Amino acid sequence: MLSALASFALRLLLAVATVVLVLALMGVALLTLLGLTIWSLIRGRKPVLDLSGFARARQFRAGAGVGGGGAFGRRAPAGEVVDVEVREVKPEQARLEP
């Protein structure tokens, strides 16, 4: 009985500590956001809110993926392939001159 009560109290304490930690981190993030916004307005610049990461995540979840071709990255044909001309290097040419 005592062990179950101690276990419950410990779990409750850890749950409360977790909630306090999360709220503290959210408070720090909010204060940082507010501070940076005020700092940019003092300097005469408009605060920029970049939400492009959310759009990319939405596209990725929708199946567009990185290559834009679904879950396994189906891609369009590459087109014309150009080979490189081969040139033989003789052993005398490979050495650097002093």
User: Has residue 77 been placed in a domain?
Assistant: no
Query: Global pTM?
Result: 0.47
Can you read off the two tokens belonging to residue 8?
Answer: 């419950």
- Which pLDDT score is estimated for 10? 95
DSSP result, 79-98:
----PPPP----HHHHSPP-
User: Has residue 55 been placed in a domain?
Assistant: yes
User: At 18, is the pLDDT very low, low, confident or very high (cuts 50, 70, 90)?
Assistant: very high
DSSP class of 69: S
User: Has residue 47 been placed in a domain?
Assistant: yes
Residue with tokens 């087109």: 79
Q: Hey, what amino acid is at 33?
A: L
Per the document, the length of the chain is 98
User: Has residue 98 been placed in a domain?
Assistant: no
In terms of residue numbers, what domain contains 37? Answer: 13-66
**Tens digits of residue pLDDT in 7-17:** 999 999 999 99
**Tens digits of residue pLDDT in 28-87:** 999 999 998 899 899 988 887 777 778 888 877 776 555 544 445 556 667 777 788 888
User: Has residue 38 been placed in a domain?
Assistant: yes
DSSP class of 70: T
Number of domains in the chain: 1
User: Has residue 49 been placed in a domain?
Assistant: yes
Which has more pLDDT, 21 or 36?
A: 21
Q: Hey, what amino acid is at 53?
A: G
User: Has residue 37 been placed in a domain?
Assistant: yes
